[in-house]
Amino acid sequence: LDYQHVQVPFEITLWIMLASLAKIGFHLYNKLPSVVPESCLLIFVGLIMGGIIYGLNDRSPPVMDSDIFFLYLLPPIVLDAGYFMPSRPFFENIGTILLYAVVGTIWNVFGIGFSLYGICQVKSFRLQDVSLLHNLLFGSLIAAVDPVAVLAVFEEIHVNEKLHILVFGESLLNDAVTVVLYKLFRSFCEMPTIKSVDVFAGIGKFFVVGLGGVLVGLSFGFTAAFTTRFTKDIRVIEPLFVFLYSYLSYLTAEMFHLSGIVAIISCAMGMKRYVEANISLKSHTTVKYFMKMWSSVSDTLIFIFLGVSTIGENHEWNWPYICFTVIFCLVWRALGVLVLTFFVNRFHVNTITSKDQFIIAYGGLRGAICFSLVFLLPDFHRKKLFIAATTVVILFTVFVQGMTIRPLVDLLAVKRKRESAPTVGEQIHIRFLDHLLAGIEDISGHWGQYYWKDKLEYFNSKYLQKILLREYDQPKSSIVLLYEKLERKHAMELAQAGQLGHGLAHPSFLCSAFLCSSSDRTVITDQKLEDTPNPDVLDNMQEILARNLYRIRRTGPAYNRHTLPGDSEPTERAKEILILRHKGL
C-alpha cells in the first residue's frame, strides 16, 4: 500500500465526492431543501464531520486554508456569478449598487468598529485591551456581505430581479472596499504612528483597487474574445480559454493587490458576448454547464469546510463582545440601508419600497470571506475572540436569517420574479423603447443611462465587433440576430414535423420590428443611406418573419445556479416529438 504517493489528489477527490454526494442526499428528500436552505444543511454536515474528526484525533480539525479558499474555491463561484449576471438590471441599478457597496460598507465598518470600541470600554466585560484600530480591523472584515452566502440563499427564494441584483451586486462589488479597508487597518495595526498622509493614500487606493480590477478584467476578457476568433479548427479547446483567461485575470489582480472579484466579473461580462458568438454551440453548452458544475461544487465545499472549521479550540468565548457584534451587524446594516435608500429614492422614479428595504437589510448574510480573512489576521492575543465572534455572526446570519427569510418574503408578499422570460414581442418593444428613450435623452441634452448605452452599442458595433468577432462581415441588425437565435433554439428543441403555424403576424408587430431592425438609432438620423439594408434582403426577411414568428416560445428564467435554462427531460422531449410526428401523418 502506497498511500503517501497519491495522498494529495486522492484526498481532494474524496472531498469533492463527499460534497457531491451530500448534495444528492439532500435532493433525495424533496421536502428538506424547501424548508432549510442548502447552505445550512451543508454547514451541518461539516459540523458533524468536524465533530467526528475531533472525536477521533482529539485535536482541532484542520481549518480551511485561506489560500485554498481565495485561490481555488472562490474564483469559480465569482466567475459563474459574473458570466450569468443579467446585465440589463445590473447596469440599470449600477448607481444604487455602488452606493450600497462603497458608502454602505464604509458606514458599516466604521459603525460596527466604533460601537464595539464603545462596548470594550465597559469594565465588567474585561475587553479594555482591544484597541480602536483592532475593532476597526474586525469591523472591516465582518461588515462585508458575502456573495457566496447571498447567492446560496437568494437563488432559492426567487425575489424580483431588481431586489436580487441590489443585494447580490452589492455583495460582489464591496470586495474592493473590503480589500482596501482590511489591508489599511492591518498595516495601521503594525505601524507605530499613523500620519494623515496614510489615510489619504487609503482613500486613493479605493479607486486604484476597484478601477484597476475592472481594467485588468476587461483586458483579459477582450483578449479571450480575440483568441476565440482563431479556434475554428479545434473546437474542443474553446471552453478552456473562457476558464483560463478569467482565472488569469483573477490571479493577476490578486498579484497586484487589486480586487480579484471585480476583475473576474469584468472579465466574464466583457468577454461573454463575443465569446458566445465565436465559439460553437456545443462548446458554449460545455462552458455554461461546467461553470455551473464547478461553482456548485466550490460552494458546497466552502460550506462544508465552514462547518468543519467551526469545531475545535480556536475560540475565545467572550459572550458580551460576541452578542454585541451580532446586534451591531444587524442594526448598522438596517440603518445604512434606510439612510442610503432615502437618498436613492429621491433621485429615482422607480423607488425601492419599504418591504424591499427590509429584505435588503435582512439579506446581508456573512460567509466564508469573513471567515478566511479572520484567519489571515496576524497573531495577536485577541485573535481567538475575533474568530469566535466571526463564527457566531456567520452561523447566525446563515442559519437564523437564511432560514427565516423565505417565510418573511412570503409574509410580506414581496414582489417575486416573473416565472417566464419576456416574449419575443416584449423583447422587441423593450428594445424599441430603449431607442426611443435614448433619442429623448439626446434631444433633451440629458446624459442618462440610455444615452450611454446607445453610445456604447455604437462603439461596440463600429470597432469592437470588427476586432473580436470571427465572422464579422457587416453589422447584422439586432432583429435578425434575435431571430437567428430563436430559430436555432427552436431547431434544437423541437423537430415537430409539419406543425407550422400559418397565421400571419399582426401588422403592428411587424412594423415595430422593422423600426428596431435598423439597428442603430444613429443610423436613422445620420447615416440613412449608408447602412439601410438591401431591399431584396428586407423583402426576404419580411416574408420569413411573417411566416415563422408564429409561436411565442417561452424560455426558462435565467437565474438559478443549479439548472441550465431549457433543461427539460430528453426522453420527455423525444416522446413529444414521436407523438407530434405521428399526428402529423
Using CB under 8 A as the binding rule, the residues of this chain from 40 to 99 that contact its own copies are 67, 71-72
> How far is CA 46 from each of CA 54, 368, 371, 425, rounded to the nearest angstrom?
12, 13, 15, 48
Q: SS3 for 227?
A: helix
Backbone angles phi, psi at 416, to 5 degrees: -90, 170
Cell numbers describing residue 94: 449600477
- Please tell me whether residue 351 binds its own copies under the rule CB under 8 A: no
Stretch that binds its own copies, among 167-175, 186-194, 436-444, 577-585 (CB under 8 A): 577-585
The residue (of 327 and 467) whose beta carbon lies closer to its own copies is 467
* Residue 458: closest CA among 529, 534, 526: 526
- Three-state secondary structure along 490-558? HHHHCCCCCCCCCCCCCHHHHHHHHHHHCCCHHHHHCCHHHHCCCHHHHHHHHHHHHHHCCCCCCCCCC
Cα dihedral 41, 47, 52, 53 sign: positive
Give dist(CA 240, CA 231) in Å, integer: 11
Nearer to its own copies, 18 or 218 (CB): 18
Choose, by CB under 8 A, the member of 462, 488, 506, 583 that binds its own copies: 488
The verdict on 446 binding its own copies (CB under 8 A) reads no
Total of chain residues touching its own copies, rule CB under 8 A: 87
Q: Restricting to residues 175-234, name those near its own copies by CB under 8 A.
A: 227, 230-231, 233-234
**Residues sharing a CB contact under 8 Å with residue 357, sequence separation 6 or more, in sequence order:** 337, 338, 341
Binding segment for its own copies (CB under 8 A), chosen from 1-9, 331-339, 388-396, 529-537, is: 1-9
Question: Binding its own copies by CB under 8 A: which of 423, 499, 527, 532?
Answer: 499
Interatomic CA distance for residues 441 and 452, integer angstroms:
10
Nearer to its own copies, 27 or 59 (CB): 27
Query: Nearer to its own copies by C-beta: 232 or 528?
Result: 232
- The answer to whether 17 contacts its own copies (rule: CB under 8 A) is yes
Smallest CA-to-CA distance from 135 within 389, 394, 332 is with 389
Query: Rule CB under 8 A: is residue 376 a binding residue for its own copies?
Result: no
The verdict on 476 binding its own copies (CB under 8 A) reads no
For the bound state, the minimum distance from the C-beta of residue 72 to its own copies, rounded and expressed in Å, comes to 7
- Name 490's Cβ contacts closer than 8 Å, sequence gap at least 6: 553
Answer for which of 13, 128, 351, 423 binds its own copies (CB under 8 A) is 13
Q: Which residue from 129, 410, 487, 539 is in contact with its own copies, where contact means CB under 8 A?
A: 487
Provide φ and ψ at 439, rounded to 5°: -65, -45
Q: Which is nearer to its own copies, 228 or 519 (CB)?
A: 228
The candidate with the shortest Cα–Cα distance to 217, out of 255, 247, 181, is 247
Compare residues 381 and 582 and give the one whose CB is closer to its own copies.
582
Query: What would the grid cell of residue 59 be?
Result: 485535536
Q: How far is the CB of 293 from its own copies (least distance, A)?
A: 5
Of 112-131, binders to its own copies (CB under 8 A) are none
With CA atoms as reference, report the closest residue to 81 among 208, 237, 250, 210: 250
- 3-class DSSP state for residue 159? strand
Nearer to its own copies, 183 or 355 (CB): 183
Q: Dmax over Cα atoms in the chain, in whole Å?
A: 88
525 binds its own copies (CB under 8 A): no
Out of 162, 183, 235, 551, the residue judged to bind its own copies by CB under 8 A: 235
Q: What minimum distance in Å lies between the beta carbon of 581 and its own copies? A: 6
Among 490, 509, 510, 531, binds its own copies (CB under 8 A): 490
Q: How far apart are CA 11 and CA 5, in angstroms?
A: 11
The answer to whether residue 247 forms part of the interface with its own copies (CB under 8 A) is yes
Q: Does 481 bind its own copies (CB under 8 A)?
A: no
Closest by CA to 66, choosing from 337, 310, 371, 351, is 371
Alpha-carbon distance of 543 to 535, in angstroms, equals 12
Which CB atom, from 58 or from 569, has the smaller least distance to its own copies? 569
Binding mask 251-290 for its own copies (x = CB under 8 A): xx-xxxx----------------------xxxx-xx--xx
If binding is defined by CB under 8 A, does position 550 make contact with its own copies?
A: no
Closest CB 534 distance from its own copies, rounded Å: 16
Rounded to a whole number of angstroms, the minimum distance from the CB of residue 547 to its own copies is 5
CB of 510 to its own copies, least distance (A): 17
For the bound state, the minimum distance from the C-beta of residue 554 to its own copies, rounded and expressed in Å, comes to 17
To the nearest whole angstrom, how small is the minimum distance from the Cβ of residue 294 to its own copies?
9
> What is the total residue count of the chain?
585
Of the candidate residues 500, 504, 537, 552, the single one contacting its own copies (CB under 8 A): 500
**Pick 433 or 574: Cβ nearer its own copies:** 574
Supply the minimum distance, in Å, between the C-beta of residue 184 and its own copies: 16
Determine phi and psi for 159, rounding to 5 degrees.
Answer: -80, 175
Q: Are 247 and 224 in contact (CB under 8 A)?
A: no
Q: What is the rounded distance in angstroms from the CA atom of residue 246 to the CA atom of residue 290?
A: 14
Of 166 and 545, which has the nearer Cβ to its own copies? 545
Rounded to whole angstroms, how far apart are CA atoms 579 and 576? 5
Collect all residues with Cβ–Cβ distance below 8 Å to 536 and sequence separation of at least 6.
none
CB 41 within 8 A of CB 32: yes
The Cα–Cα gap between 441 and 446 comes to 5
Among 215, 335, 376, 494, binds its own copies (CB under 8 A): 494
Binds its own copies (CB under 8 A): choice among 543, 552, 558, 583: 543
Q: Which of residues 553-572 bind its own copies (CB under 8 A)?
A: 562-564, 567, 569-571
Q: What angle do CA 163, 166, 171 make, to 5 degrees?
A: 130
Q: Give the one residue of 102, 218, 293, 538 binding its own copies; rule: CB under 8 A.
A: 293
The whole-angstrom separation of Cα 27 and Cα 33 is 7
Provide the β-strand partners of residue 416: 159
